A = this chain, B = another copy of it.
Amino acid sequence: MENSLAENISVNLFTINNLWMMIATALVFIMHLGFASLEAGLTQSKNTVNILFKNSIIPAIGLVTYTIIGFSIMYPGETHAGGFFGFAGFGISPGENGLTKAYNIGYTYWTDFLFQGMFAATAATIVSGAVAERIKLSSFLIFSTIFVGLVYPIVGMWKWGGGFLDTLGFYDFAGSTLVHSVGGWGALTGVMLLGPRLGKFRKNKISPIPGHSLPLAAIGVFLLWLGWFGFNGGSVLSADPALVSLVLVTTSLSASAGAIGAMGAAWSFLKKPDITMVLNGILAGLVGITAGADLMTPLESIIIGFISGIIVVFSVIFFDKIKLDDPVGALSVHLVCGIFGTLVVGVLGTKAGLEQFWSQVIGVVSVGGFVTIVSYLLWMSLKLTIGIRVSPEEEHEGLDFSEHAMEAYPEFEKVR
């Protein structure tokens, strides 16, 4: 009888944990709407259909490829070779214990798959924003499919699948490196090979190309912040009251401090309270805290967010200076703050220390090196075959017309 009581208590806890993980999955899902809104809002209305299309189909392709191969690559069990690559076979199947706490005290096999699958597609979505307004749809879809189906899970396995970075002591709580900088490196190679949008850099002058709808951008950022409750909170992998609630506090405080840091930097240096900087400051704070959200005190999370918010302002200016054209600031938010957030785990919080710092550096460099090389090969293969950039005429008319023969706002008169 007592054993049966103990068993029931344990099943209850499993049910609670699994419930939180399912809700976290729903929250990460809504990040895809966040990315779609943000990217659409910060670009021109003549490319909006294209952006909505990419951001709708990527999560769909991402979940299906993750079903077929991604999940099995990312979590290969004991089958991997030296911690670099493994594959547990095609498809998903819960096996004998997959639906009980024998699989994991925090969730069922199905919850595990869906939570991870929702993560996977975000990496490709990050790329989407940086290469927006000039990339060929077909090439982007091919790149994204391979990126989500192969590149992301291979790298993810290095740490979260028990690979060599895990062995080395590298720490990345919810993916400053494994998600955000992975997307960032893929974006960086894409931006370099694509070149800037027409008219962005004329002679030595930078011509800002303002986004067509700031309310849409704001909706996107708030939904991303909401989604981060699940992204970071779910990365605890259980409903542990102390740990999840700490993570939600550090996450929200870092986002808040990011907004304040970016506001301060923009107001001081750009001489105006720039809403796009505040919005990117929120995201910078969120990316910055992601690697160590479970390790920081509230004060440390405010410091991390505040610095991230300042970084993002100068990073945006810097990428413009070196003529890398990133329409939505994805490189600054996801790559730069992703790296900062990863490294700061060696400087602040309960794991701070020189040894940890070097582990973080190794993680950043190895992931960066691999993703950059593979992305370069992918983009180059596409460039040399079907091409990656639309023609200047198509770009001028907008991708909505040339790629989709549709308009996002057919009834409204445009200024230009």
Interface of A is mostly: helix
Tell me which residues across on chain B come within 8 A of A59, comparing CB atoms: 256
Residue among B29, B212, B242 making CB contact with A229, cutoff 8 Å: B29
* Cβ of A229 to closest chain B Cβ, rounded Å: 5
**Beyond A53-B275, A245-B111, is A12–B22 a contact (Cβ under 8 Å)?**
no
Q: Which of B9, B20, B273, B403 contacts A5 (CB 8 A)?
A: B9
| Segment from A36-44, A152-160, A327-335 that makes contact with B | A36-44
A411 to B6, CA, bound (A): 64
| B residues near A32, Cβ cutoff 8 Å | 222
| A44 contacts B99, C-beta separation under 8 Å | no
In the complex, A388 has a CB within 8 A of chain B: no
Q: A15-B13, A213-B215 are in contact. Are A299 and B108 (CB under 8 A)?
A: no
Q: Which residue of B lies closest to A408 (CB)?
A: B214
Contact of A82 with B by CB under 8 A: no
Residue in B211, B239, B279 whose CB lies within 8 Å of A19: B239
Cα distance A58–B42 in the bound complex, in angstroms:
22
Shortest C-beta distance, A313 to chain B (Å), equals: 14
CA distance A241 to B410 in the complex (A): 46
Asked whether A245 lies within 8 Å of B22 as measured between CB atoms, the reply is yes
Complex: chain B residue closest to A14, CB-CB: B241
Copies of the chain in the assembly: 3
B-contact 0/1 string along A193-229, CB 8 Å cutoff: 0000000000000000011111110110111011001
Contacts of A37 in B (CB 8 A): 215, 219
Quote the shortest CB–CB distance from A354 to chain B (angstroms). Answer: 28
Chain B residues lying within 8 Å of A408, measured Cβ to Cβ, are 213-215
State the CA gap A210–B257 with chains docked (Å). 35
| Residue contact A108 to B242, C-beta cutoff 8 Å | yes
Chain B residue at minimal CB-CB distance from A246: B110
Inter-chain contact B410/A413, CB cutoff 8 Å: no
Closest approach, in angstroms, between the C-beta of A27 and any C-beta of chain B? 7
Instruction: Check A275–B52 contact: CB distance below 8 A.
Output: yes
Which residues of chain B come closer than 8 Å to A1, judged between CB atoms? 2
A window 1-55: CB within 8 A of B: 1-2, 5-6, 8-9, 12-16, 18-20, 22-23, 25-27, 29-30, 32-33, 36-37, 40, 44-45, 48-49, 52-53, 55
Q: At the interface, yes or no: A269 with Cβ under 8 Å from chain B?
A: no
With A and B bound together, what is the CA distance between A64 and B264 in angstroms? 15
Apart from A56-B222, A213-B409, 7 more pairs, CB < 8 Å: A5-B5, A9-B9, A19-B19, A45-B411, A55-B218, A113-B249, A212-B412
